[in-house]
Chains A and B, each alone.
Chain A
C-alpha cells in the first residue's frame, strides 16, 4: 500500500474538501450553543456596525443601548431578572449581519436591537422573522424596513424607533408655514442621494398642500464644492427661505457661499445637518438664522435628557449624538416591552411592542403606528452663534 502512488489528485482534492466540511460539522457538534430554557437571565442580542464603513453610527447606537440596559440592570432588571446583553459586530456587511442575527437567534435571545442601516437590517430581517424574534432598529429609515410594499403587508417582527424621512419633511413644512410664516421658498438637493431627493419631494408636496409655493429647485452632486451658480439662479427668484435636505459637508459650503453672495434668508434642513463639523465648515456667523429637524437635541432642558447626557459623558467621555440617544431609547423601550409582556417570550414581547403607547423616550413620546413606524415628536433646532438651540418639538400630523 505504501507504494501506491496515484496520479489522480482529483480524489484527494475531493477528499480534502470532504474533510473540511466534516470538520465543520464536528465543530458544530461540539460548540453548538444550546437553547437555554432555565432563563435565569433575559438575553437581548445587539447586532451593530462596530467596524467598517458606518462604524460611527453603530458604535454610538450600541453605546446608547448598553448604557440603558446597564441602568435597568442596576435598578433590579425586569420581571425580577437581570438582562444579559450580547454584543456582536457585523462589520457593516450584509452577509455578516445575517451571520450575527442567526448566531444571536441560536443563542436564544428574546429580542434583537440593531443594525443601524437599512441594508443590514434587511439582511437580518428574514432571520428575525423566521425565528419569530422581534427586531428593533434604531436608525434604518427606508419605508420597506418595516413594511413590505410588494405584498402590502407590515413586517410583523420588525420595529423602528427613528422618525421616518417624510415626517421630518412634514414637520419642517409645518414649522415654516405656522411659526416662521413664510410662503415662498426654494429647494437645493443632492440629486445622487435618495435621502436628499426623498426629503425634497415630500417637503414640496406638504408645503404646496398648505398653499405655499416652491419657486425654484436646484440640484448638485456630492463632489461639488462651488454652489454659487445654483445659488445665484435661486436668488433671482426671490425666495423667502431655502430648504437644503443634505449632509453637513455640502450644507456647510452652501450656507457659507450663500452668505458671501449676500443671501440673508433662513436656511432649513434635516438630520443630515447634525454634526460638529457643520460649524467648522460654514462658520458660526453664517449659520445664524438656520433651522433643521432632528431626532433630539442634547440641549433639551428636560431632566431625563440631561441625566442621559451626563451619564453618557461619564461612561464614554463624549457628547451623545442622535444615534446614541436613539440607542438609549431602544434599550429602555425593549425593557419596557418585556415588562409589559410579563414574560421573556419573543412572541409576547412582539405583541407588547405593538401595543406600546406614549412611551416617554428622551427622543420624544413614542407610539407605533400600524406600519411599525414611531409616531413621535420631531425636534426643531436653531443654530445660534455656532451652538444648537432647541426651538420646539412638533408632532407630525399624518
Chain B
C-alpha cells in the first residue's frame, strides 16, 4: 500500500508538470492565442476565489458575501507595494494576502457571532464599506481606480498558485482544524459540547478564506492592468457564490468545475451580447432546479470514486 501511495504521488507530479509544461510551451510558442490565455488566467483566478469561499461557506457553513471586498484589499495592497513602493512582485503578493487576512480578522471577530442571514448581511455590508473607502481614498485613485498596472503574473505563478491553494485547502479540511470546522457546520452546539472552540475555528476559516481572496486579488490586479472599486462590488461576491453553489457547497472539485464552467460560459456568450445575461440566468435557473445541491453536492472526485469507476469498467468488460 505504501509503495502504491508513493507511486501515485509520482504520477500526480508527472501529470502536473506535464500540464504545466505543455501550456507553458503553448504560450511561449504562441500556439495558445492571447484570447485563450486570458480565459485560462481568468479561470485560474476564479478557481482560487471559489475554493477559498467554499472554505467559509461550504466547509464551515457560514454564508459570507464579502469575498469581493477581501479580493479588493489584496488587489490594492499588492498594487501599492509594486507600483507605489517599488518592491518585487512576490513580496506584493505576500503583503496582499497578509493584509486581506488582517482585514478578515477584524471583520470576522465581531460578525461571526452572527449566523445565517444576519452574517450574510453583515459581511455584505463590510464588503461594501471596503469598496466605499476605496472610492474615497485619493491615494488609491478614487473612483477611477489604478490604471496601467504592469502585467507580472505569468503561467508559472497562476498554475502553481492555483494548485497550492487547492492542496492547502484540501489538507486543511482533512486536518483536525478542518474537522472542527466541519463539525461546526453540521451542528455548532454539538461541536461546542465536544470541546470545539467554535469562535476560534470560525474566525480561522474566515481569515484563511480572506487571505486566499487577497491572493486571487493580487494575481488579478497584475494580470488585468486596471483595478477599480466598482469591479469589487457585491455583484462580484455573488458571482463567486454562484460558482460555489453550481459546483456544490463543500466540494473542492465542485468549486473548480463551477468556476471553470461559469468562466467558459461567460466567454462563449460574449459572441451573443443581446442574449448574454439572459442565457447566463437561464443556465443558473436550470442548474438550481435540477441540481439544487450543486453539480457535485459535497462529493469529491476521489481515489475511491475513480477506482470504483475502474472496477465497474473492468467488471463489464470481463462479462462480455
Contact = CB atoms under 8 A, between A and B. Distances in A.
A17 B144 contact: no
A98 B273 CA distance: 16
Contact of A98 (B224, B274, B302): B224
Contacts of B273: 50-51, 87-89
A99 B39 contact: yes
Interface stretch (B55-63, B111-119, B204-212, B303-311): B303-311
Interface in B117-167: 136, 142-145, 147-148, 151, 159, 162-163, 166-167
A5 B304 contact: yes
Interface in B1-60: 4-5, 8-9, 11-12, 15-16, 18-19, 22-23, 26, 31-40, 42-43, 47
Interface in A87-106: 87-89, 91, 93-96, 98-100, 102-103, 105-106
Contact of B314 (A2, A18, A27, A29): A2
Interface stretch (A122-130, A169-177, A253-261, A337-345): A122-130
A121 to B, nearest CB: 9
A98 B302 CA distance: 36
B174 to A, nearest CB: 8
Contacts of A144: 147-148
Interface in A63-100: 87-89, 91, 93-96, 98-100
B38 to A, nearest CB: 5
Contact of B15 (A1, A7, A14, A99): A14
A192 B143 CA distance: 9
Interface residues of B, number: 74
A126 B18 CA distance: 31
Secondary structure dominating the interface of B: helix
A189 B215 CA distance: 39
A32 B162 CA distance: 25
Contacts of A125: 148, 225
B277 A51 contact: yes
Contacts of A100: 270
A33 B260 contact: no
B246 to A, nearest CB: 15
Contacts of A6: 4-5, 8, 303, 307
Size class of A's contact patch? 35 or more
B106 interface: no
Interface in A1-51: 1-18, 20-22, 24-25, 27-29, 32-33, 50-51
Given A12-B301, A51-B276, A103-B270, A21 B159 contact: yes
B303 A8 contact: yes
A386 to B, nearest CB: 32
A222 B280 CA distance: 33
Contacts of B270: 88-89, 96, 99-100, 103
A99 B31 CA distance: 18
Contacts of A87: 273
B103 interface: no
B199 interface: no
Contact of B35 (A25, A89, A106, A150): A106
B170 interface: yes
A28 B38 CA distance: 11
A4 B276 CA distance: 45
A233 interface: no
B220 interface: yes
Contacts of A119: 144-145, 147, 226, 228, 230
A94 B144 CA distance: 12
A352 B198 CA distance: 67
Nearest to A32: B33
Contacts of B301: 12-13, 16
B256 interface: yes
Contacts of A224: none
A123 B171 CA distance: 37
A250 to B, nearest CB: 16
Contacts of B319: none
Nearest to B224: A95
B38 A94 contact: no
Contact of A122 (B32, B220, B226, B302): B226
A99 B225 contact: no
Given A127-B34, A194-B142, A14 B304 contact: no
A237 interface: no
A106 B199 CA distance: 51
Nearest to A50: B273
A57 to B, nearest CB: 14
Interface string A302-314: 0000000000000
Of A14, A33, A50, A51, most B-chain CB atoms within 10 Å: A14
B26 A28 contact: yes
B149 to A, nearest CB: 9
A193 to B, nearest CB: 8
Contacts of A127: 34
A290 interface: no
B276 A89 contact: yes
B271 A88 contact: yes
Contacts of A7: 303
Contacts of A131: 34
A52 to B, nearest CB: 9
A110 B313 CA distance: 52
B9 to A, nearest CB: 6
Given A5-B303, A105-B34, 8 more contacts: A5-B307, A6-B8, A7-B303, A8-B9, A12-B300, A21-B23, A99-B38, A150-B148
25 contacts: A1-B310, A3-B311, A5-B304, A6-B4, A8-B5, A8-B9, A12-B301, A12-B303, A13-B253, A16-B256, A21-B23, A21-B40, A28-B31, A50-B276, A89-B270, A89-B273, A91-B276, A94-B228, A95-B231, A99-B39, A99-B267, A102-B37, A106-B34, A119-B228, A127-B34
Interface of A: 1-18, 20-22, 24-25, 27-29, 32-33, 50-51, 53, 87-89, 91, 93-96, 98-100, 102-103, 105-106, 118-119, 122-123, 125-127, 131, 142, 144, 148, 150, 192, 194
Interface of B: 4-5, 8-9, 11-12, 15-16, 18-19, 22-23, 26, 31-40, 42-43, 47, 136, 142-145, 147-148, 151, 159, 162-163, 166-167, 170-171, 174, 220, 224-228, 230-231, 252-253, 256-257, 260, 264, 266-267, 270-271, 273-274, 276-277, 300-304, 306-307, 310-311, 314
